[in-house]
Amino acid sequence: MWKLLKYEMKKSMPGKRILIAITLSAELMVLIGLGFGNISLVGIGALLLSYSALIGMFITCFGGSGLFGRELRTKQSYMLFITPNSNREILDAKYLESFCSSVLMGIYFLLLLGLDLSLTVLRDQWSTGPFSHNFQGLQEVSAMIPNAALALLSLWFLLVAAAFFITVVFASIFSKLPAKGLLGFLFFLFLGFLINLLGSVLTTVSYSEFHILVLSLLFLFGGLLFRGATLFLMKHELNP
């Protein structure tokens, strides 16, 4: 498993390097703006940093399924299934790579955010400056994170498992369809919308710990179903 994880991490490194370069460029704009008191430059840099973080986390979470789909479309795809590693080990290594990458990139973005907020405090722009309202909103969001941590983790598992399931479906059952990559992406967005709708309906009842636990268990159960279905298709549709 460790060798498979290292292999998956190595494959995803080029995309991560590009993402880090983009975010560091945006961070440099923020630092220069803070250093020279240019609020406009700070705003532009912060906006770019926010968008790059959002897009970057999406790519980090689901990029593994895209790479897997690319592997399955090659003529050498059969080689994936003639190694000593089982289908379960191959799939779990891809899940684990997505999780580790998501955690590391999340820490990276939080460190950048912490640096920017700390420098803003030092410049005495906190209580009366344009960042005070954002800071209050950040405090409110931060207070919700501990109670929602389990739900977020189970939601991540559900979405990643769904992404790999869709990848395998369009690489096996629907392999003859034109533009199957685009169709798979659109289907994933639709599935994500349904999951978000389900979560919204359930959380309108209450944000109590019990309802969050129920929601987490539902997400976890859905992820396990997608994982089982993916392994089934890999065994019966993709294995040579």
Say how many domains are in the chain: 1
Buried-exposed string 85-102: b where 16+ CB fall within 10 A, e elsewhere:
bebeebbbbbbbbbbebb
Question: Per-residue pLDDT for the chain (240 aa), expressed as one digit of tens each?
Answer: 777 788 788 888 888 888 888 898 888 988 888 888 788 888 888 888 888 888 888 888 888 888 887 877 776 665 666 667 788 888 888 899 888 888 888 888 888 888 887 777 776 554 445 555 555 555 555 555 555 677 778 888 888 998 899 888 888 877 777 766 677 677 777 777 776 666 665 555 555 667 777 778 888 998 999 999 999 988 887 765
Q: Domain span at residue 159?
A: 2-238
One-letter identity of residue 229: A
**Alpha helical stretches, state H, 73-86:** none
CB 92 within 8 A of CB 130: no
pLDDT digits (tens, 9 = 90+) for 165-221: 988 888 887 777 776 667 767 777 777 777 666 666 555 555 566 777 777 888 899
CB 135 within 8 A of CB 200: no
What pTM, to 2 d.p., does this model score? Answer: 0.77
Closest CA to 231 of 73, 96, 86: 86
Calpha distance 129→206 (Å, rounded)? 35
Taken in order 158, 161, 166, 169, the sign of the CA dihedral is negative
Closest CA to 99 of 12, 207, 186: 12
Instruction: Tell me the two tokens of residue 41.
Output: 């430059």
Residues shown for the chain = 240
